[in-house]
Amino acid sequence: MRILHFYKTYYPDSVGGIEQVIRQMCVGTGRLGVTNQVLSLSRKPDLQPFEFEGHMVHRVPQNFELASNAVSVQAISALARMARDADVVHYHFPWPFMDLAHFMARVNKPSVVTYHSDIVRQKALLRFYQPLQHRFLQSVDAIVATSPNYLGSSTVLDRYRDKTRVITFGLDKTSYPEPDQARLEQWRQKVGPKFFLFVGVLRYYKGLHILLDAVAGTDYPVVIVGAGPIEQELKAHAERLGLKNVLFVGKVDELDKVALLKLCYAVAFPSHLRSEAFGISLLEGAMFGKPMISSEIGTGTTYINIDRQTGLVVPPSDHEALREAMRTLWDNPAMAREMGRRAEARYWQLFTAEQMADGYAGLYQELVARRAQVGLTPATRLG
């Protein structure tokens, strides 16, 4: 079975949560006999197709970007051409240009949308986009919500419950590199023996300003891994607060990320807006057996992190509640260890890449079979 994934960014141009999920989907379903291709946009000059972990990656030039909406005229013809050879086209929402490209390319293959997030920030533009959004979601064969929490709280998905199902994201722990003792010791010397860790792209909805406010006046060490559009703004905020216990380490490679996940005391994940629909780095913390602190925003973060079981859940945008949660974990190491143990157990129970791959492979087969059944004539069915 041949699957075409279409999203605005992918490896190696961008290494965010959605890119990681698409990667895990391709690798996981590839083990089940699915042939995956990814079509994405790029600003890089060299756009030759290449193989990545068993699947092909195709890129077309990104012409411009408007309100985080990447646009490529070349993507329309590429989508039309590649969709003809695919059994299923797999879209990753939200990306308004993708909706338009779907219609302009006249895609007529079984289609599925992984609904990663509502559109939260561009509320003014959303009013103009909504007719296209709903026409697109109506036209696809299936929609996948990434957690029961998000399906239950999204007013958009509520309109499409008859075609929506839940397949949670999953990670393959064996796909993560194993840092050696020298690398672990190098980081231990740099960050100390006990610290809270945040990993992610530094974006507006990650709530890192809340985390900085929470640790003001405390001596809890915090390590922030990642780069992004508000990095300088956050560093300036930390400087205004006079924080000496926060270390921005920037973007790191996978080995260093795993080293920090292994070394950290707990994961702090203060995302405060619904743009954080799931939280892949939060799930990585659970996978490595770490207690977590997250906010209740009605999304998958609270499907990963269960309050008082795998960690602590606080109200969004409440730095005092976040500080108290950090104090609770910091002062109760036995409780923190037990929460981390439960977090890892929950990962193995619900969030492995194998489970996600099984879910999507089954859905692909169902969509192809359904389209074939619709295409049969009554005489053929009787025969």
Of 355, 349, 288, 282, the C-alpha closest to 28 is 355
Per-residue pLDDT, 375: 66
Q: What are phi and psi of 293, to 5 degrees?
A: -125, 125
Per-residue pLDDT, 207: 98
Per-residue pLDDT, 105: 97
Q: What are phi and psi of 330, to 5 degrees?
A: -60, -40
First CA to last CA across the chain, in angstroms?
26
pLDDT tens digits for the chain (383 residues)? 999 999 999 998 888 889 989 999 999 999 999 999 999 999 999 899 999 999 999 999 999 998 789 999 999 999 999 999 999 999 999 999 999 999 999 999 999 999 999 987 766 677 888 999 999 999 999 999 999 999 999 999 999 999 999 999 999 999 999 999 999 999 999 999 999 999 999 999 999 999 999 999 999 999 999 999 999 999 999 999 999 999 999 999 999 999 999 999 999 999 999 889 899 999 999 999 999 999 999 999 999 999 999 999 999 999 999 999 999 999 999 999 999 999 999 999 999 999 999 999 999 999 999 988 876 544 333 33
Residues 330 and 75 sit within 8 Å (Cβ to Cβ): no
Strands 69-71 and 64-66: antiparallel
Give the pTM: 0.90
Residues comprising the chain, all counted:
383
Q: At what angle do helices 319-331 and 208-215 cross, to 10 degrees?
A: 60
